[in-house]
Structure 1
Amino acid sequence: MKKILSSIIDGKGFDIALVALPLTFLLTLSGIPLVYNVLMSFQQVDLFSLGTFGRPFVGFKNYTELFAQLETSPILLNTALFVSASIAGQFVIGFGLALFFWMNFPGASWMRGLFLVSWVMPGLVVGAIWSWILSGDFGVLNFFLREIGVTDGNIFWRSDPHYSLWAVIIANIWLGTSFNMILLSVGLSGIPKDLYETAELDGANALQRFWTITLPMMRATIGAVIALGLIFTLQQFDLFAAITSGGPHNSSNVTQYWAWELSFRQYDFAKGATISVIMIVFVMFASIVYVRSTRHEVRG
């Protein structure tokens, strides 16, 4: 022990300690709950056995029973639609805003800063704001749609099964668009202006320059943005809790909210842990894609 302390004091082991201490802290706070959750998905756990360690091991029974439930397929489809629509909307609008502010016109910097307000706001606050906007009787969105002639009456976004999931998707797109815009703006700033000037002299129009220069040069950044969007979207819980609570009749329910319902409303902790493990697999896959994208960008 004295040798380790003396080496750290001398500076020889300082780099090791600098990595080991936060790594130990991270593994303690994240690794232990993760292992505990994985083990619980293979056990029979209810409200009475939650605080004990004598829980019977049931193998993959929780997984087979989970996929045999009638509500599993609709909720998985809702999750796929929520994730794909949210990521697509955030990316397309964020990329458009990034290209718009890339022109560097007067006032672009402070206008770009205003868009970050949505990202720094807590999810429950964003959910409360959009609950008012999407209100069926006095919501701003219904008023706007009636004024431009899209609808004749009110749309009950939060209570209509046909629109409830889209209500959360719209709110989530608004929440994550600014984050996409900032990351894509950083990627755009790394493209040399000389490439565009040369292409313009060769007769390439704006669309051709976008397809031949912008997209290829932004490939690593786009991969990182999509991977981060997948991670954040799969973790989104606050908007569902504030806007629809997964209803009506599970029409807006997704895996992350269903895991909470099973654990803390139905007290089926084993099934809730099972869903969490499945989500962890997808998040780890997205994390691998993100790490590979950033590594490619650094090498480039």
Structure 2
Amino acid sequence: MLRFNRIFRDGGGFDSVLVVLALGYLVAFSAFPLIYNLVISFQSVDLFTIATFNRPFAGLQNYRDVLHDPLFWPILRHTVLFVTLSVCLQLSIGLALALFFQQDFPGASWLRGLFLAGWIMPGLVVGAIWGWLLAGDFGVVNWLLQSIGLTSQRIFWLSDPAISIYAVIIANVWLGVPFNMILLSVGLAAIPADVYEAAELDGATRVQRFFTITLPMMRAQLGAVISLGIIFTLQQFDLFAALTQGGPSNASNVLQYWSWELAFREYRIGHGSVVSVLMIVVVIFVAIAYVRSTRHEHVV
């Protein structure tokens, strides 16, 4: 007992305690839910068997049911569209803002802080704000478009099947741009100024310096932003719950929201687990690709 107290008094065992606590947290809140979800995906689980462990083993039948569901492929296309447009727009706008705030001008820090204020807001709050902005009858966006003459009639952003998914994309881009801006600003700040000065002395234009210096030297940051953007966008649930609820007629439904609908609206819990497992596999592949790219970067 004295030896045990001496270890902690000297600080030698405190790091071990922190490691054990961190591992316990990961097991309890990450590993166990993932494994439990994987197990459920192979079982016949519904409202009557979820509270018991007497669940028939379904094998791959849940996966066959999901893959042959008429909604699966349209919802998968919506998900690919949502992720692709969101990540591309967040990256391009975030990079443009990072380059803009790299300039030294009065009030730059205040403006940067205003952008960050939107990022720290909960997704449901952002969804409520954009639901008001995009409302078909009294929305500010429709009023602005009509005022400048871009449209003569109201656009029902959230109830038109042709554009409802784009309404959620707009809100998600607005929510994710500040995060991209901050990460890319760090990458820009790490580029030595003398590299730009040497290129400018050699006669390189601003566009040439951007493509020959900025982008190549920010390869690691761009990879991180793209990978994290894909992962965060695949986790986006709140905006769909606040804006469209996957409608109308599943026109804006995506895999993450469909998984929730299967499990908690239709009580097909096994099928909902299958959808989440498929998304976890995608996230794992994205993480592996990013880790391999950064390892190659260090080797080079």
Q: TM-score, normalised by structure 2?
A: 0.95
Q: Which residue of 1 aligns with 2:268?
A: 268
Matches within 5 A, 1:30-179: 30-179=30-179
Q: Which amino acid aligns with 1:279?
A: M
Q: What CA deviation, in whole Å up to 9, does each residue of 1:171-220 have, x standing for no partner?
A: 00000001100110011000000000000000000011001100011000
1:138 CA displacement: 1.2
1:287 CA displacement: 2.7
Q: In structure 1, what is the Cα distance between the partners aligned to 2:204 and 2:254?
A: 45
How many residues are paired up?
300
Q: In structure 2, what is the Cα distance between the partners aligned to 1:119 and 1:2?
A: 50
1:2 CA displacement: 8.4
Q: In structure 2, what is the Cα distance between the partners aligned to 1:294 and 1:15?
A: 28
1:8 CA displacement: 4.9
Cα distance change, pair 118–212 in 1 and its aligned pair in 2 (3 A):
same
Q: Which amino acid aligns with 1:266?
A: E
Q: Which residue of 1 aligns with 2:27?
A: 27
Q: Which residue of 1 aligns with 2:192?
A: 192
- 1:221, 1:294 within 8 Å by CA — same for their partners in 2? no
1:147 CA displacement: 2.3
1:13 CA displacement: 3.8
Q: What CA deviation, in whole Å up to 9, does each residue of 1:135-170 have, x standing for no partner?
A: 111111112222232222111000000010000000
Give the alignment's Cα RMSD to 1 decimal: 1.9
SS at match of 1:116: helix
Q: In structure 1, what is the Cα distance between the partners aligned to 2:6 and 2:53?
A: 42
Q: Which amino acid aligns with 1:71?
A: L
Matches within 5 A, 1:281-300: 281-292=281-292
Q: In structure 1, what is the Cα distance between the partners aligned to 2:74 and 2:216?
A: 37
Q: In structure 2, what is the Cα distance between the partners aligned to 1:159 and 1:169?
A: 15
1:20 CA displacement: 2.1
Q: In structure 2, what is the Cα distance between the partners aligned to 1:10 and 1:298?
A: 37
Q: In structure 1, what is the Cα distance between the partners aligned to 2:137 and 2:217?
A: 47
Q: Which residue of 2 aligns with 1:228?
A: 228
Q: In structure 2, what is the Cα distance between the partners aligned to 1:141 and 1:153?
A: 12
Q: In structure 1, what is the Cα distance between the partners aligned to 2:136 and 2:221?
A: 39
1:6 CA displacement: 5.7
Structure 2 residues without counterparts, runs of 5 or longer: none
Cα distance change, pair 241–149 in 1 and its aligned pair in 2 (3 A):
same
SS at match of 2:135: coil
Q: In structure 1, what is the Cα distance between the partners aligned to 2:250 and 2:296?
A: 41
Q: TM-score, normalised by structure 1?
A: 0.95
Q: Which amino acid aligns with 2:139?
A: G
Cα distance change, pair 9–287 in 1 and its aligned pair in 2 (3 A):
farther
Q: Which amino acid aligns with 1:17?
A: V
- 1:119, 1:176 within 8 Å by CA — same for their partners in 2? yes
SS at match of 1:194: helix
Structure 1 residues without counterparts, runs of 5 or longer: none
SS at match of 2:204: coil
Query: Which segment is superposed worse, 5-14 or 263-272?
Result: 5-14
Q: Which residue of 1 aligns with 2:17?
A: 17
Q: Percent identity?
A: 61
